[in-house]
Amino acid sequence: MNYIKYSLILALLLFSACDDEFLDKYPLDSVTHETYWETESQLRAALYPCYEGLDYELLIYPSVFGGDVVWGNLNSGLAKIPGGRHTALDGFPFTSFWSWLYAPIFTCNNFLDHYDKANVDQDTKDIYAAEVKVIRALQYFWLTSYWGDVPLVDKVINASEAYMPRTPKEEVVQFIMDDLDWAASKLGNDIPSGNNVGRINRWGALALKARVALQNEMWEVAANTAKEIMDNSPYELYSSYRDMYKLAGNAETNPANREAIIYSLFVDNLRTNNLSNYTCTPVDYIRLNASKRLVDAFLCTDGKPAKAGLEYYGQTVTTSDLYNYPEEHYTDYFENRDPRLQMTVYSPGDEWPGGDDGDADTDTDNDIYQLPRFAVLQNNNRLGANGLTGFYLKKYNSIELAGLYNRDHNNINVIRYPEILLIYAEALFNIQGETLTQAQIDMTVNQLRERVGMHPMILEELDAWGLDLETELHRERRVELSMDGMRYFDVLRWKEGEVHLGKAMVGPSLEVCMNDLGANPYPDNGTDEFGDIIYEKSVAEGGLDNFDPTKHYLWPVPYAERIKNPDLGQNPGWE
């Protein structure tokens, strides 16, 4: 639990003279290294800065890019990506993410360049190195998923080596897989506890291997690796889906949580984040807004869709009689839905951390949530949680910490056991000619549904209702893994950018707004074809948001990096 103290000490010792930009890295002073790398305690201290590669922004922002979360400032680079409004000249987030990902790679490379000097048993040293290789592999997973080809740097480089071309994605992915295999061979099987809580074990290395394999359509590897974890690891579903995103579920205080395989450890007063304020705060505008389209994706309790939605756009499918569509009141969105919806977003009747909500008064705190708050309808004051979409994330929101700046110490999931089950299901689906048996669905998807009391997925029912198995597997990942940082990468892997990205940013239906709020907060923007109010228009409504499949499946190589190193080249469509 003292790892932040170690991090700060080591950072002052070794890294204070280092520039943050990847291409400006120079080797650290050799005398310092010669005197430092001697004991296991020094290895342990040097390990912890590598874990800063599990940065909460790197983990959370892909949910914004994938459209399930709407960033509160639509002029930000974060909001431009799901809307397709980004350009090759934008600095943020492209230059920022490039630096944010290569900085941990530098830290990891620095460790791996020197750890073997320590006068420590080789097996012990290799355990530390294995953890570092897993963290470095995660950075390269993100880099290749965003950019495709990227420079592969496996050691601390000097100025003459810095300006290299990009390495083909396939080579980088193989490098990742080799590192993860090596790491898995060195790490232990037990779930780390005590002074080792939060550290990565063998199953963490294999879990990341399964994720990387799935993302790169290595179906056999993904299925076999996931099955090994399912059959042999100590991990399992935790009893409470809700608590997996709450302080009550933190693994260091709740050893019954055997679901979080890799997580970013946060500690009160030592290492904290600001997610409670980002998701729902009583005094400001919300940065992380649950999207209306995420809410629409949740099935009803009978297993049928509430509406056809974008998943079955233009198709005839059986929708649920349990859902009132078109909606008339805000409460309609939450009636008879998959129980995970009310564990993911705030619903009417919930205890509420957002100050004044969207009820008739404009300045009285509410303890119980009833209606969403739009600033324009509340005298544009900051006395409550002003949102853009009308929906508020409950995941990673701690009521007792909302309103306190950067005080959140809720751990952030990197890979949970449910992702392993869903990797196995998707990989098998592709191996077996786009089909699964009912038994395979029962051992994967239906385990997740059973935990929350949701209607199981039954193949015969899908056929009778006109529902597509692949679409429903994708929906299950979206619902179960919301806020787990995989939505954007899933959309890219499935080549569904044209379906889910570049769409208008919408809120509740006009009828709901008029009936419950008395007005449309965005009257100048009209409604979309489904009757939902629009905050940001897409091309279909005469706006700018779009998805161009010729270029938007990859990010542009950052302009600032290309100026320094023309050999990086550019991705297709961004020249």
Which of 25-34, 464-473, 529-538 has the weakest average pLDDT? 25-34
Token pair recorded at residue 112: 């791996």
Q: Residue 359: is its pLDDT beyond 70?
A: yes
pLDDT at 29: 43
**Residue corresponding to tokens 């756009």:** 313
Task: Give the pair of three-digit tokens for residue 105.
Answer: 């790679």
pLDDT in tens, 382-406: 999 999 999 999 999 999 999 999 9
How confident is the model over 228-278, as pLDDT tens digits? 999 999 999 999 999 999 999 999 999 999 999 999 999 999 999 999 999
- Residue 162 — pLDDT band, cuts 50, 70, 90? confident
In this prediction, residues 105-114 reach a mean pLDDT of 98
To the question of pTM greater than 0.85 for the whole model, the response is yes
Mean pLDDT of 304-332: 97
pLDDT digits (tens, 9 = 90+) for 164-215: 999 999 999 999 999 999 999 999 999 999 999 999 999 999 999 999 999 9
Average pLDDT, the chain: 93
CA-based end-to-end distance of the chain = 47
Query: Residue 537 contacts by C-beta under 8 Å, 6 or more apart in sequence?
Result: 504, 525, 543, 544, 545
Inter-residue contact 304 to 320 (CB < 8 Å): yes
* CA distance linking residue 544 with residue 465, whole number of Å: 36
Six-digit token string for 175: 């490098």
